[in-house]
Structure 1
């Protein structure tokens, strides 16, 4: 019997699909109540995702459609003075990752989402680093509570019978004006034509710790060597143009991104993912991510990896962004649901 695509990964008015898709990059459903006080529980968040996208056993509750990738990260040593993490020492580390789109339906058309995501597991002798990045540098909301409200608004808009009739989303936007920054960024940056020519951002801030214990707040991104081109209307006729395009591109050779770390200055916010830092902040090229191969997610090497953003090596620490703890805690419940579905499927129940 074939295996379910079980995995531990959960990324006028704002478009419903945009909000629902990007929201999932941050809500991975764990029991948040005990950890985060009065905030929504993981079960509640997952149930709300399923209400928007439907139930698809064995698949991620969001970013359900994706592809596994493998390759390596070549560190140039430029970040070694800032962090004692072995991943930043000059040298090569093996990588297993996943490229995906937002949304909880694994059969949806690639054109249904204008956000792409890249998750990585980078393994070194001194530990491993997992990071989940999105093709937008900011998030619509800054707290798990607001995220929960956004999912409810997305469901109401999804259920609207009249085009443009989104009272729930309109009400959400009035109470969360910060979401307009995300909307404007998407308007100004059309989605890329492929997985390979998109930049991907950490969105949340993190801290690099050096050998003396000094900390530096940072964000990171990976910038593609392939030139960005916007999505063409003709591409959307192919439901799976992103995976096909990546496979075709890899037949020409490996795909490369440069990892860039941005250093915060005193006063830069680290607890609000809806805000970018000023463009004049110091940026350091710390190495090259190289993807050599892609494989279907149903039995590929990324299938059962948890891309928990707080799975960090010594030398990298979380910031005070409230979404980070919620995301990390959420993986346990997400894992439990999918594992249960996998076991039931294997047992023929």
Structure 2
């Protein structure tokens, strides 16, 4: 999609662009406040209630409530020559930006078996030489399961294992899919897409839409992904079943011992009519893409003592040149991440940290 034109407000109303910007900021602020539970009816879904239901009465003190098991990583980002034409963000204009981040798996068990987790994740913090920060939170799935926070909450409840069978109740899941039919696409992906054998050969997608703003003030809606330069290799079923709990961490350390790992930051532009407020709807594969740079990871360390431990990878933290869309999932993520962060930081300060049962290959990390 070509860049969106500047605001065509006539000279007699020079405040037009500023009013539009103020309206967007106000709308996002109200969305955040609504999801966080600061405004609105008491009975509705709030961020504390959402995090409570993620915990399901069994929190792991001192750990993230979701994507609890992971490892800290660090390296740098180098932009491509094309990147500066897409956005005026400083990260696309300075030669190299330091990066610290976190590789993790889906789920709330910080001691779970890594090879058995369907979802892999990458979170990053890029801080430029002028002090601006860009945080990303990406996942191995190509689109979100549902379009709204309410849908995610409904999925969470429907997916809980029945105590009698250890599996989700089929009737509850059927009722969920009837109400949120878009989730069937995600289920099809989860069942059919091959599992990657490593964090290093996984593609990580930022499924929410953002706006890139260039030096002339023009903007375009985009989504981005980190596409690995390492060749994809499917995880063998036997490895998935039999590997030690820290399989991905060990495999990552072995790769890093051979040299840095690289991903290309690939930016996809929306076309007119593409949904920019619904992360459950993928954009057509024919949309223009641009390689905006390369992420290089050089080292890893346990999250219990690493730089990523006390970072909230809130994807709404963006620099000048990148702006949020009005996707409601973005506001919900920011609010829920904040609640999770505050809870685990208080638990850490009290020394109230969950410990694993003695199991071979399991390392206590947070």
Report whether the alignment pairs 1:41 with 2:46.
yes
Q: TM-score, normalised by structure 2?
A: 0.82
Q: CA deviation at 1:90?
A: 4.9
**Aligned residue runs from structure 1 range 134-173, under 5 A:** 134-155=139-160, 157-161=161-165, 165-173=169-177
**Aligned residue runs from structure 1 range 42-191, under 5 A:** 42-51=47-56, 54-126=58-130, 127-155=132-160, 157-161=161-165, 165-191=169-195
Report whether the alignment pairs 1:245 with 2:256.
no
Q: TM-score, normalised by structure 1?
A: 0.86
Superposed CA offset, 1:258-282 (max 9, x none): 1100011111110111111111111
Match of 1:233 in 2: 237
Give the SS at the match of 1:203.
strand
Match of 1:15 in 2: none
> Contact 2:207/2:223 (CA < 8 Å) preserved in 1?
yes
Q: Name which of 303, 313, 324 aligns with 1:318.
A: 324
> Contact 1:95/1:122 (CA < 8 Å) preserved in 2?
yes
In the alignment, structure 2 segments of 5+ residues that lack a partner are: 1-31, 354-366
Cα separation, 1, equivalents of 2:117 and 2:95: 36
Q: Name which of 203, 207, 224 aligns with 1:203.
A: 207
Cα separation, 1, equivalents of 2:35 and 2:176: 24
Give the SS at the match of 1:149.
helix
Superposed CA offset, 1:157-196 (max 9, x none): 3434275743222211121110011112223321200100
* Deviating more after overlay: 272-281 vs 323-332: 323-332
Report whether the alignment pairs 1:290 with 2:303.
no
Aligned pair in 2 of structure 1 residues 90, 342: CA closer, same or farther (>3 Å)?
closer
Structure with higher Rg: it is: 2
Report whether the alignment pairs 1:256 with 2:262.
yes
Give the SS at the match of 1:80.
helix
> Contact 1:140/1:182 (CA < 8 Å) preserved in 2?
yes
Match of 1:212 in 2: 216
Q: CA deviation at 1:197?
A: 0.2
CA RMSD of aligned residues (A): 2.1
Give the SS at the match of 1:132.
strand
Superposed CA offset, 1:300-326 (max 9, x none): 111111111010001100112110011
Q: CA deviation at 1:33?
A: 2.2
Give the SS at the match of 1:194.
coil
Give the SS at the match of 1:242.
helix
Cα separation, 1, equivalents of 2:136 and 2:54: 22
In the alignment, structure 1 segments of 5+ residues that lack a partner are: 1-27
